[in-house]
């Protein structure tokens, strides 16, 4: 993610604009992700690119087991997420970190989730981020994500690129489920995927 985009997202979190936008646009997307996650007792869960902690808070409210973890590159987003978790007395632990270098050991999690993360990453970082998700999952673990089927190569340009689906197999994931679902724009539908790390 560029420095400018990180700064914009951080400021939007600090002034409540991100939460306002997310409440209007992401509730159905989060519902779908939680449904696909098939939450199990005592599962270790990570929300990558957790933003202000809306999805990770909902995961913590739904799951039974150890604390949910959230990681985001923006310190301001993490600050808002921690306040949200503290207000609700949730078992959620947040860290500042990047998707391309997750601050967790190999094989830590049973489930990793992300919501509209990859369109924010530079093209060179997309494979690195997917490999990091693969690394922190236990064998048999699941990665559940929602991504734009097409995303802008540049926010100021009109050209759209397809989600790099060939990366999934190259990294080593098996695709369990691919489904179209609730979207937030007409021109950029969202695809939901459940990927399995082979045992």
The domain ranges of the chain are 3-196
* pLDDT given at position 184: 72
DSSP the chain: --HHHHHHHHHHHHTTHHHHHHHHHTHHHHHHHHHHH---TT--EEEET-TTSHHHHHHHHH--SS-EEEEES-HHHHHHHHHHHHHHT--EEEEE-BTTB-SS-TT-EEEEEEES-GGGS-HHHHHHHHHHHHHHEEEEEEEEEEEESEEESSTTS--EEE--THHHHHHTPEEEEEEE---S-SSS-EEEEEEE---
Q: What is the mean pLDDT of the chain?
A: 84
Q: 3-196 in CATH: which number?
A: 3.40.50.150
> Mean pLDDT throughout 166-179?
82
Residue 8 pLDDT exceeds 70: no
pLDDT tens readout for residues 95-126 = 999 999 999 999 999 999 999 888 888 877 88
| pTM for this model (two decimals) | 0.85
* pLDDT given at position 165: 64
Residue 151 pLDDT exceeds 90: no
Residue 77 pLDDT exceeds 60: yes
pLDDT tens readout for residues 44-69 = 999 999 999 999 999 999 887 788 99
Q: How far apart are CA 106 and CA 26, in angstroms?
A: 30
* pLDDT given at position 130: 93
Residue 155 pLDDT exceeds 60: no
């Amino acid at each position: 993610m560029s420095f400018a985009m990180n700064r914009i997202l951080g400021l939007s979190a600090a002034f409540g604009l991100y939460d306002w936008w997310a409440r209007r646009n992401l509730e159905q997307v989060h519902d779908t992700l939680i449904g696909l996650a098939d939450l199990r007792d005592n599962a270790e869960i990570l929300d990558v690119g957790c933003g202000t902690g809306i999805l990770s808070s909902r995961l913590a409210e739904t799951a039974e087991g150890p604390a949910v973890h959230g990681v985001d590159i923006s310190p301001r987003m993490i600050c808002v997420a921690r306040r949200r978790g503290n207000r609700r007395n949730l078992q959620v632990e947040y860290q500042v970190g990047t998707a391309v270098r997750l601050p967790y050991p190999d094989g830590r999690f049973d489930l990793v989730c992300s919501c509209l993360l990859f369109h924010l990453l530079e093209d060179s970082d997309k494979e690195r981020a997917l490999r990091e998700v693969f690394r922190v999952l236990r064998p048999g673990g699941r990665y559940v994500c929602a991504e734009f089927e097409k995303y802008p190569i540049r926010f100021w340009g009109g050209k759209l690129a397809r989600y790099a689906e060939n990366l999934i197999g190259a990294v080593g994931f098996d695709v369990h489920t691919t489904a179209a679902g609730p979207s937030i724009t007409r021109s950029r539908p969202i695809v939901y995927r459940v990927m399995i790390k082979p045992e």
